[in-house]
Amino acid sequence: MIKKKVFILLFVFFLATFSFYFLEAKTENELNIYSGRKSFLIEPLIDEFKKNNKNIKVNIVTGKSDEFIERLKLEGKNTKADILLTTDVARLTRAKNNNLFKKISSKILKNNIPSKYRSKDDDWFGLSVRARPIIYSKDRIKINELKSYEDLAGEKWRGRVCMRSSNNVYNQSLIAFMIINLGEKKTKKWLDNLVKNFARKPYGGDRDQIKAIASGQCDITVANTYYLANMLTSKNLKDQEAAKKVSIFWPNQDDFGVHINLSGAGVIKNSKNTNNAILFLEFLSSKKAQQIYTKKINEYSIRTGVIPSETVKEFGKFNADNSNLGEIGKKIKSAIYLASKYNWK
Ligand code: FE
């Protein structure tokens, strides 16, 4: 009888200890992601990560990067977030300037990501490249009429340019890129004339500019290539038809190259799962993950040797901006100021 009681006691003790250990392990081995990228873009990557990291529970919250930055500032030490993923370098710089990121020393990240695609202070890392070239009407523009971003401000384009709002960070980064390459004085002139060339008030996203060209509202725009690639491969036949009416022009091939931006991430300063966060970032920079970025999302890889998707391959090769992209983040404030000064709504 006594033996039986001892056995039960031991069993209960063992169960309690084990389940405590198990629960502890369960709550500790997490990875919490704040993602400015939509979840359908990130989920294939998380699924692949989980294959080799079954013990890590990955939680993802999606939303707007700027709101996450505000939230992280408020949450401070109490935050559960380990990683912030964003779709552009301006937000990475903003998070960095708000002291939200932790410095990470990882040989894998350094080897996989060229230095121009990561922070000089090792606190944010580019994970995919997005190009923002000129997109034009195949019917109404001949390729030899096209030159450069500067040329879009020329008088021959009066009433022919469609642009999305300058409230959008992609165009803020484009203006910052122009400030870096032309200087402020020339960029002011460029903005002043470019806005005069607008065919309509800025409206909609990148896809809407392409659709506006297809429907004849305007002839030319600047947009990210993955939008065009996604339209060309879309199940929506109207989108597909619109996309077929435009073509890509790679501007500034002999000087400062095509404006590019980065999606990227940083590890949160108050992260409680830093090792998991580093592991995930290292995975995102791997060849396997990079192939998901190019194939599923139609972006360009940060790595050489990872080929673009079939659709993107058709767009051809180009010379891209070769400077450290962190510089763009530093000019965003001036870009926003100039956009409003010259009435780019
Ligand atoms: Fe986008």
Q: Domain range for residue 174?
A: 131-259+317-341
Residues in the chain: 345
Give me the CATH number covering residue 187: 3.40.190.10
39: confidence class by pLDDT, cuts 50, 70, 90: confident
- The DSSP secondary structure of 64-94, one letter per residue, reads -HHHHHHHHHHHGGG----EEEESSHHHHHH
Quick check: 81 and 268 in contact, CB under 8 A?
yes
Answer yes or no: do 189 and 297 share one domain: no
Strand partners, 135: 221, 248
What's the gap in Å between 88 CA and the centre of ligand 1?
9
Whether residues 222 and 145 fall in one domain: yes
Residue 19: its pLDDT value, please? 46
Q: Which helix (H) or strand (E) holds 212?
A: helix 206-214
Tell me the CA–centroid distance for residue 72 and ligand 1, in Å.
Answer: 23
Separation in Å, CA 26 to CA 21, 75, 89, 229, 230: 8, 23, 34, 41, 39
- Determine whether 80 is exposed, middle or buried from the number of CB atoms within 10 Å of its CB (0-12, 13-18, 19+): middle
Please tell me the distance between residue 165's alpha carbon and the centre of ligand 1 in angstroms.
Answer: 13
Regarding whether 34 and 110 lie in a shared domain, the answer is: yes
Are 250 and 258 in contact, with CB atoms under 8 Å apart?
yes
44 vs 10, residue with greater confidence: 44
Expressed in angstroms and rounded, the spacing between residue 132 Cα and the centre of ligand 1 is 10
Number of domains comprising the chain: 2
Measured in Å, residue 169 CA sits from the centre of ligand 1 at 10
Q: What is the DSSP letter of 320?
A: B
Q: Smallest Cα–Cα separation from 228: which of 216, 240, 220, 217?
A: 240
Tokens representing residue 92 in the block: 């990475």
CA 246 / ligand 1 centre spacing (Å) = 18
Output the CA 130–ligand 1 centroid distance in Å: 9
Q: Specify the pTM.
A: 0.89
On whether both 124 and 154 belong to a single domain, the answer is: no
- pLDDT on residue 11: 54
Ligand 1 centroid from CA 170, angstroms: 8
Per-residue pLDDT, 8: 56
Say whether both 194 and 321 belong to one domain: yes
pLDDT tens string 141-165: 999 999 999 999 999 999 999 999 9
Indicate the DSSP class of residue 317. Answer: -
Q: How far is the CA of 26 from the centre of ligand 1 (A)?
A: 35
